[in-house]
Amino acid sequence: MADTFTTRIIDVTTGSTETVHDLTDACASFLRDVARGRDGLLNVFTPHATAGLALIETGAGSDRDLLEALRTLLPADDRWQHRHGSPGHGRDHVLPALVPPHATLPVVGGAMELGTWQSVVLVDTNVSNVNRQVRLSFLG
């Protein structure tokens, strides 16, 4: 049985444009505070119907490529049944089916076991909701 379960909510302002917001440093900081060198699991969760979490390379264009791929798969037009909000907002409600609102990562020695180029990111295509929360939970 795990020794501890600790959780923290962080607030993220995503702005008025579609974004891929890097959470890696916030996750690492949380683990430094609570894992104290232990092995376990980090769960990252966003309680929003129009945002998701992904592991992706950032800074080399992949984050922009992800947003462009989502624009192609989920165009902001009038095809969506869910019609409140900004034009094409219905697509934002489909996003979490493709980019889920959760990720669980292994923690070894108090640090995330990420690949060399992997970052933990919040993906937000909803330009009408600029304030997001992300819950970080450590079980270890």
User: Residue 55 belongs to a domain with what CATH number?
Assistant: 2.60.120.460
Distance CA 16, CA 5 (A): 34
Distance CA 82, CA 91 (A): 8
This prediction's pTM: 0.94
Distance CA 58, CA 131 (A): 21
Token digits of residue 112: 């995330």
Number of domains in the chain: 1
- List the pLDDT tens digit at each of the 140 positions of the chain: 457 899 999 999 998 899 999 999 999 999 999 999 999 999 999 999 999 999 999 989 999 999 999 999 999 998 999 888 788 899 999 999 999 999 999 999 999 999 999 999 999 999 989 999 999 999 99
Distance CA 137, CA 57 (A): 23
Per the structure, the complete domain to which residue 129 belongs is given by: 5-139
**CB atoms < 10 A from the CB of 69, how many?**
12
